[in-house]
Structure 1
Amino acid sequence: MGFLFHFFIPGLLLFLVYAGWRSVVRVQERRAAWASGLTAQGRVVRAWVTTRIVNNVPRYTHWHEYDFTTVDDRAVRFSESGGPRDRAEGERVLVHYTRENPERATAGEPTPGRDSAVLAYVLIILGAGFLVTLWAGVTYW
């Protein structure tokens, strides 16, 4: 029982903080790529789907791997989840990237309002989980 309260709960709290931080960082990377104004013609190198089963319900995540060349002739390859289902290997796409971190590019269309709404939702859920876990840790410690 001591293990649960001395290691698991702080570990869960750290995980929730890390998940929130990664969500914020990815939204900032996408916004920076769109705001930079740098675009390149990219190509879908690979497309695949991962499946997770949650409560006996399959959850599908569509992944794509892209290749593109920057303005300064640097070849870049990156992977991104959540793209369109019908995007196939070999298809040409418009890639948005920053000069400093072209590997943090996005092939998604600019949707800052949607990104903000999703980020707010994720942070609310993670924050609630953090508070419940913190409450459980303080109550039963």
Structure 2
Amino acid sequence: MFELLFYLVPTLMIAGVGYMAFRLVHRARRISRTWQHGLTAEARCLRMYTTTSGGGGDTSVSTSVHHVYEYTTGEGVQVRFEEAGGPATVLEGDFVTVRYLPEQPRLATESGCVLAFLGLIVVFCLGFMAVAHAMFSAADGLMP
């Protein structure tokens, strides 16, 4: 029964990493398609605000800039969206150019690095399972 944990936990971790990799590739393909085939529109920054995380004191505090934009598609549909981690140089009332896919009005190096990291996690989990299997097999051979 105890041995099951040495197989179940890494298997669940591999499944989670697989799902994260799937979502990452899906997002990267959508962004690539938007840059290649997307239309442009002028969007206006309706709101800019910051959020902080971390407790301060002995722990570090990180601040994230958020923007709320609104634009009108070529078909006359108004779209409003929020962007986290945008540039602090864009202020309320500023106009920016946005790209969107007509059917969905709402980055390769980064994605590659994250996929490589996720791959390392999978390799670690598989290695852990192999070592655990060898260890339990050796222990079974020593039992009378």
What TM-score results when the alignment is normalised by the length of structure 2? 0.72
Which entry has the higher C-alpha Rg, 1 or 2? Answer: 2
Distance 2:128 2:119 in 1: 14
- Which residues of structure 1 form unaligned runs of 5+? 104-114
Shift of 1:61: 4.1
- Residue 119 (structure 1) shift: 1.4
2:119 maps to 127
1:88 is the counterpart of 2:91:
yes
CA distance in 2, matches of 1:13, 1:50: 32
Equivalent pairs counted in the alignment come to 129
Distance 2:70 2:113 in 1: 31
2:128 to 111, 121, 136: 136
Equivalent position of 2:68 in the other structure: 65
Name the amino acid aligned to 1:27. A
Counterparts of 1:40-55 in structure 2, within 5 Å, are 40-51=41-52
- 1:21 corresponds to which residue? 22
Counterparts of 2:63 and 2:3, CA distance in 1: 37
| Uncovered stretches (5+) of structure 2, i.e. residues with no partner | 134-144
**What percentage of aligned pairs have identical amino acids?**
30
Give 1:58 deviation, angstroms. 4.6
CA distance 1:89–1:139, shift in 2 (3 Å): farther
Confirm whether residue 79 of structure 1 aligns to residue 88 of structure 2.
no
| Distance across 2 between alignment mates of 1:33 and 1:101 | 9
Render the CA deviation track for 1:28-62: whole Å, top value 9, x for unaligned.
Answer: 12221121241111122333444555xx5555544
Partner Cα distance (2:21, 2:52) in 1: 23
1:86 counterpart SS class? coil
Task: From the superposition, tell whether residues 96 and 13 of structure 1 become closer, same or farther in structure 2 (CA, over 3 Å).
Answer: same
